[in-house]
């Protein structure tokens, strides 16, 4: 019974070693760290872009409102 458990544990460890290309545990970790860093950088880019678009969109909207108010005042004064 114990030998079967030991054999099963060894088989599972061997399968685990096969999961890493060339047995490179550190390379596998570095790869996943680089993927995570890329995802975090993309997330920061989209957050910055969204903030920039909201800020500039708000300014464009305020300029449009000022222009519309100016046109309304001009129309009332000239008519």
CA of residue 20 relative to chain centroid, distance? 26
Q: What is the mean pLDDT for each group of 10 consecutive residues in the chain (79 residues)?
A: 85 82 82 96 98 97 97 92
Paired tokens of 2? 């114990």
The answer to whether residues 34 and 40 touch, using CB atoms and an 8 Å cutoff, is no
- pTM for this prediction: 0.58
Rounded Cα distance, 35 and 23, in Å: 19
In this prediction, residue 1 carries a pLDDT of 60
Under 8 Å CB-to-CB from 7, ≥6 apart: which residues?
none
Paired tokens of 39? 């995802």
Paired tokens of 24? 């490179």
């Amino acid at each position: 019974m114990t030998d079967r458990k030991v054999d099963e544990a060894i088989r599972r460890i061997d399968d685990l070693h096969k999961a890493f290309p060339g047995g490179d545990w550190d390379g596998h970790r570095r790869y996943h760290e680089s993927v995570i860093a890329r995802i975090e950088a993309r997330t920061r880019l989209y957050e910055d872009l969204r903030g920039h678009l909201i800020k500039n969109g708000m300014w464009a909207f305020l300029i449009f409102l000022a222009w519309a108010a100016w046109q309304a005042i001009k129309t009332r004064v000239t008519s």
